[in-house]
Chain A
Amino acid sequence: MQRTFFDWGQFKSSMPEIASAFLLNVKMFCIAEVFILVLALGLAVMRSLRGPVFFPVRALGIAYADFFRGVPTILVIALLGFGAPALQLKSVPLSTTFWGIVALVLVYTAYVSEVYRAGIESVHPSQEAAARSLGLTHWQSLRKVVLPQAVRRVIPPLLNDFIGLQKDTALVGFLGSIEAFKQSQIDAAATFNYTPFVAAAVLFVAMTIPLARFTDWLVERDRRRRQAAGI
């Protein structure tokens, strides 16, 4: 078993290639993350709008979240990654990595918007009332009073979804993009030794641990700042 999974020589020889392939995972993660954070917030705000006028907007938001949380991620990736380039339209990019990122953004936006929404709903209505009573518009109170508190509260669960996203970038390898998992698959297939998978796993873990500590630090800093005397 040690030879099959923990062959040190194999580990060392496959690591450089897998590590450079892992950069693609990091890249996909970073690009997707930016879009997800922005789009999910927009979706959450859409669903928080009150009043009958906004019913279509709310309904659209709910339909989106229901759909993309319901469909398996790998199915969305396959649908877009194989389907979109097959259209052979001039304006449609052929890169599988591009479509992989789009699929991840679509799916994770649905998850992350739910996290944001929970945060928005956790801010007591009296905060909005206080802001409105001072003459702020709904949008101003949302932006300056409700959302800053909502986002601070959901940082830990947001991180949870980031880790999920970081791991799911490996699914894009399924389309043929040479990311860490695909690269380790290639290496493993060449030698009938599975150590490359372990190497890829080490890289993924090495990425998520600092992310987790960073979040702890953010939460702690916010707590300290609120309780410390200012300026």
Chain B
Amino acid sequence: MENFILPLDRWVHFLSGITWIGLLYYFNFVQVPALAAANADKGGPGPAAISKYVAPRALLWFRWAAVVTWLSGAIYLQKFYSLHGAFTLGMGQHNPALTTIGMGAWLGTIMLFNVWVLIWPNQKKVLGMVAATDEEKARARRVAFLASRTNTMLSIPMLLFMGAAGHGLLF
């Protein structure tokens, strides 16, 4: 049974991780530029439909995929590596794979924090799910945007280190 759980957990980690980061890239590479274009297009249909029908669904899958990714990753670390060893970057253990996957785990953990503490609460204000003044919405939009862009930036080394633990570093 143990031999079945670990590959299953890894599979779930990949699936949920792709869902999470795929939607992160959707927000950054597609939705944000699309909203800007819709706002600038005075004769067009405007951004309302994206904000009402698309963004809440994308955010739902995004934030819960982040949780499943982190939990399945933590289980995998504990079973296959060492959760404590990874988060202490394998210091004193002379295990490069532990150090590498640990850096990936730290980056992923910072990203999960950004999703639930910075992006989601501020997006709720932006999308009108909680009451906010126009000034609060403008500030929430900026904080959510920068947190989302930070996660896009962090995802680049994060994916490098997640893969490098099993397949080798960049150089």
Q: Do A and B bind each other?
A: no
